[in-house]
Amino acid sequence: MSDFKPRFLKPSDTSSFLDRNDTTLVESTDFIYNRHLSQTIQTQRQRLPIFNNRNHILYLLEKYQTLVLVGETGCGKSTQIPQYLIEAEWPAQIGICEPRRVAALSLAGRVADETGSLVQSETVGYAVRFDACTNKPKIKYMTEGILIREMMSDPLLKDYSVIMLDEVHERTLYTDILMGLMKKILKRRRELRLIVASATMDARDLQTYFNNTDDKMKDTAVILSVHGRQYPVTTYFVKEPIPCYVQGTVDIVLKINSSKQAGDILAFLTGQEEVDRTVRLLREHANSIEAAGKKEKFMVYPMYGSLPYHEQMNVFKRTPDGFRKVIIATNVAETSVTIPNIVHVIDCGFVKMKWFNGQTHTDSLMIMPVSKASAQQRAGRAGRVKPGHCYRLYTEEDYLKLPNTTPPEIIRSNLTYVILQLKALGIDNVLKFKFPNPPPIENIKSALEILYALDAIDIDGELTKPLGFNMAEFAVDPLYTKILLSSGDFGCSEEILTIISMLQVESIYAKPSTGNSSIKARIQKRNFEVAEGDLITYLNVFLAFAKSGYGNDFCHRNYVNYKSMKRVLEIRERLGKMMKNYNVPLISCEGDTEIVSKCLVMGLFSNAAYLHYSGVYKTVRGDIELHVHPDSVLYTITQPQWVVFCEVIHTTKLYMRDLLVIKDTWLLELAPHFYHKTTVKEC
């Protein structure tokens, strides 16, 4: 196997890899080595590829309402266009929406440098969750959710003259919602301008989508392409499909390593288990190469989201002289983390994706083929420092069959929170909302049912006052908001605040990947476990953390993730303030776990399961077979008769996560309406 037929990309694809890269500037989350620090900032700005298009962009924005900008990584679109607009004296604010916090922060920092101003000044600022600018900067970088929030108080975005949606090709949940909302706003505010920045080939679709059909005389949307700065990347495909991409990755790494080609290697796989397995296999080879005293030595590092922080940092460290670096990563390395000095990329051609199923109300993690856009993005990771190579573990024929773009998140997501927010923005009939890609009707129906059961909407689908409106304003899942807003009446709001905050953060427990300490970690975790289940266990962990004085040493001793706990504190304080705003008294029930559990059922009642005599759990609605997730404290102890859960994830089986032990009588006592309710009229 691993018989590669080298070939260049087709002309239509090569554009992204053409130009020489001699200045590396911040573009989105990508970092940053500036070889031309000695040059003036103005000279540096003028070297960017987008500079040649400066006047054309300004002209197009005079003439058209929507500019679809196809700009490849490194062209400077996210930092330069806002500055061009300010220089051309466009009035009011320029708002730029980014899918990730780090992108908003680093872009604001870069533009502050370039304009010789401070971040959070009158010129440049940013707004992300828990960290907003108070003034109104001329150029404002923000995360997507922030702009949606702002629409709630300012539906026509009157503070802005231009909105730029960045990284649209990623098609995040909020990108799609913002596109739908912007389409509406553009019709009502003809002087407003929208820039839709995408790295890929969906430009035509975007143009068609934003063209205002009321305006039959002329187009209101226009496309402009700007080339990026990348070294050429030579792409190779396998001649025949390969049976196993883990083995395939190992083989290619060894083959590159034994060839004369220098440079670090980055391989994309779909999940932690695959990454760990590949790392193990490759380390065996690396050890035997070293033991044999051969020259081609290399070091292998894993990279994935749930890896402890100090282990993640390994991928940025220099390897000792004479060692090549090999990084085996999940999709984190595609957009969120940029690993420097990569020359060879290996792409398995697959990605793990979450899909929500509205009929069963469950999420599934599925391994799917990547899109062409993704494959291109992965390949581009090889061309940042010098000409690179991308080895695709699939045939060219299969590549051509891939979809152009990743299936938008909105068609595969739980829509409860989205619909709540749309309704708060005055979109009464969600079915008529012009999504760029409409989500499946079952998912909308399922969301409306849950919202109705939670009392957030009435039988006509209207938001209830005040509960529904309050729920739309809280930045947590509606199920949890319901619990938070009920907790005052139950007299346990302090405890609930803690539990909900703990649920906002992944990986409370540190999970070392090495054998010895991973066993210790598991033993330590037992200390906090209680028979009432995971949610009360989280409460225990937090209380112990608080008692220790919120210290790092406590976390270290108990294998609790300190960074996560600090985030919990941050979120807890924020949510606490919001509770006060809604006049929910902050009181403690002083250890009465039954009160806390009952309050949790106020939101989780629809996620109830009972232990079937066959020994597995079944959902109360629908009798779907469920299992306790191995991470749950209930996995190792006698399984209780009745539970509610926060989440179901379908991997090898349907697993319930974050469980709470309940009594069946509570369901009828606390949610009598739910198990015999009718469906909402809108469906």
Partner DNA sequence: GAGCACTGC
Q: Which residues of the shown chain bind DNA in the complex (CB under 7 A)?
A: 99-102, 127-130, 132, 143-146, 148-149, 172-173, 270-273, 304-306, 330-332, 336-337, 351-354, 365, 409, 417, 475-477, 504, 511, 522, 574, 578, 629-631, 649, 651-653, 655
Q: Which is nearer to DNA, 195 or 503 (CB)?
A: 503
d(C-alpha 112, C-alpha 527), whole Å: 49
Q: Which is nearer to DNA, 58 or 521 (CB)?
A: 521
If one counts every other C-beta atom within 10 angstroms of the C-beta of residue 222, the result is 17
227 contact partners, CB below 8 Å, separation of at least 6: 15, 16, 18, 19, 49, 72, 75
d(C-alpha 225, C-alpha 237), whole Å: 27
Minimum Å distance from CB 377 to DNA?
A: 13
- DSSP secondary structure code for residue 652 in this structure: S
Bridge partners, residue 97, by sequence: 142, 165
CA 30, chain centre distance (Å): 16
Minimum Å distance from CB 407 to DNA?
A: 12
Residue 384, Ramachandran bin (φ over 0: left; ψ between -120 and 50: alpha; else beta)? alpha
Size of the chain in residues: 683
Residue 323 buriedness (CB in 10 A; 0-12 / 13-18 / 19+): middle
Minimum Å distance from CB 559 to DNA?
A: 13
Q: Which is nearer to DNA, 227 or 412 (CB)?
A: 412
Q: Which is nearer to DNA, 230 or 421 (CB)?
A: 421
- DSSP secondary structure code for residue 371 in this structure: P
d(C-alpha 169, C-alpha 514), whole Å: 37
Measured in Å, how far apart are the chain's first and last C-alpha atoms?
Answer: 53
Q: Which is nearer to DNA, 207 or 561 (CB)?
A: 561
CA angle centred on 95, ends 89 and 98, rounded to 5°: 140
Minimum Å distance from CB 574 to DNA?
A: 5
59 contact partners, CB below 8 Å, separation of at least 6: none
258 contact partners, CB below 8 Å, separation of at least 6: 296
Amino acid, single-letter form, for residue 282: L
Minimum Å distance from CB 478 to DNA?
A: 8
Answer yes or no: are the C-beta atoms of 554 and 548 closer than 8 Å: yes
Q: Which is nearer to DNA, 477 or 494 (CB)?
A: 477
Instruction: Tokens for 334, please give them.
Output: 């595609």
Q: Give kind and range of the element (H or E) at residue 330.
A: none
d(C-alpha 276, C-alpha 282), whole Å: 10
Minimum Å distance from CB 334 to DNA?
A: 8
Q: Give kind and range of the element (H or E) at residue 471.
A: helix 467-473
d(C-alpha 209, C-alpha 606), whole Å: 37
Q: Which is nearer to DNA, 646 or 670 (CB)?
A: 646
Q: Which is nearer to DNA, 21 or 639 (CB)?
A: 639
Q: How far is CA 216 from CA 195, 206, 599, in A?
A: 21, 18, 56
Minimum Å distance from CB 326 to DNA?
A: 18
Q: Which is nearer to DNA, 8 or 309 (CB)?
A: 309
Q: Which is nearer to DNA, 155 or 491 (CB)?
A: 155
Minimum Å distance from CB 276 to DNA?
A: 8
d(C-alpha 525, C-alpha 503), whole Å: 17
3-state secondary structure of 402: coil
Minimum Å distance from CB 631 to DNA?
A: 6
Q: What is the CA radius of gyration of the chain?
A: 26
Minimum Å distance from CB 590 to DNA?
A: 28
d(C-alpha 202, C-alpha 192), whole Å: 23
Q: Which is nearer to DNA, 60 or 579 (CB)?
A: 579
Minimum Å distance from CB 63 to DNA?
A: 33
Q: Which is nearer to DNA, 151 or 256 (CB)?
A: 151
3-state secondary structure of 654: strand
3-state secondary structure of 124: strand
Q: Which is nearer to DNA, 60 or 646 (CB)?
A: 646
Answer yes or no: are the C-beta atoms of 478 and 490 closer than 8 Å: no
